[in-house]
Amino acid sequence: MKQCAVVPLTHAEDVDAATVPVAGEAPLARVVRSVLGVVADDDVVVATLPTLAGTVRECLRAAGLTTAVAVTRGPGSRREAIRAGLEHLDVHPHEPASVLICDHRYPLSSGAVAAGVLVALAAGGDVVVPVLAVTDTVKTVDDTGSVLSTVDRTTLRTVQYPRGFTASALWQLVSELPTTGLDGLDEFDAALRAGLDVGVVDGDPGAVQAELPRDTHLLEAVIAGRRD
């Protein structure tokens, strides 16, 4: 079964966040490197808009990466960027292929998580996502802000990246669903709405979600801690 990865970047602010070095390396480069251990270099692509492609290519080149960059045919949306990535990788809707969708906001996600997602996806199902148990106490509140109850957190999970899709499932999500309101497509939510079979694997507690540049110091601290 073919295994590949797409890193979609569809907004200028996302490209800025993904390409500015943090602790010596751009988040985009970290994300790409995290999947290169489990996916061949030729099967990884960064998918973006024509106006942003130059910045993305320069970032990858500066990091010593030869990862390809696919561009949308027009101004583009996330849906169109993922389609461009799939077309560049020559992934067709009905072939046995697994596709990782990566996110620059999770630059510390490990190759082990990516490998786990691919293994689980090959075992069956349409979608596989890495998750972590919710450890914080969660409350419900009313309109006035008064606490009503404590939510049972034993069944709650937070979802990380990379997220794995079969080729047929991902093509369905970017091609067949209604376009209204999906310019900012969230493939995972769309998969749930479509009734696809979604499985989970253990995530990485150290793979914090980073909103850059706001979380630059946090990310640098976590990286420094890993080095120590």
pLDDT digits (tens, 9 = 90+) for 121-138: 999 989 999 999 998 888
Strand 44-48 relative to strand 68-71, pairing: parallel
The pLDDT value recorded for residue 161 is 96
Mapped onto helix, strand or coil, the DSSP state of residue 110 is coil
Contact 170, 86 (CB under 8 A): yes
Contact 66, 35 (CB under 8 A): no
Cis peptide before 75, with omega less than 30 degrees from 0? no
Angle in degrees, CA 14, 17, 22, rounded to 5: 155
Burial of 102 (0-12, 13-18, 19+ CB in 10 A): buried
Q: How many helices (H) and strands (E) does the chain have?
A: 8, 10
Determine how many CB atoms are found less than 10 A away from the CB of residue 4: 23
Q: How far apart are the first and last CA of the chain?
A: 38
Helix (H) or strand (E) holding 86: helix 78-88
Statement: the pTM of the whole predicted model exceeds 0.85: yes
The pLDDT value recorded for residue 186 is 86
Q: What is the pLDDT along the chain (228 residues), one digit of tens a residue?
A: 899 999 999 999 999 999 999 999 999 999 999 999 899 999 999 999 999 999 999 999 999 999 999 999 877 889 999 999 999 999 999 889 999 999 999 999 999 999 999 999 999 989 999 999 998 888 999 999 899 899 988 889 999 999 999 999 999 999 865 544 445 678 999 999 999 999 999 999 989 899 988 999 989 998 888 775
Burial of 44 (0-12, 13-18, 19+ CB in 10 A): buried
For tokens 């808009």, the residue is 49
The pLDDT value recorded for residue 183 is 54
The pLDDT value recorded for residue 76 is 80
DSSP letter assigned to residue 136? S
For tokens 């106006």, the residue is 51
Please state, in angstroms and rounded to a whole number, the distance separating the CA atoms of residues 101 and 163.
5
For residue 7, which of 162, 111, 160 has the smallest C-alpha distance? 162
Please state, in angstroms and rounded to a whole number, the distance separating the CA atoms of residues 51 and 91.
24
The pLDDT value recorded for residue 109 is 94
Residues 6+ apart with CB under 8 A from 65: 29, 32, 33
Token digits for 145? 């802000």
Please state, in angstroms and rounded to a whole number, the distance separating the CA atoms of residues 94 and 38.
22
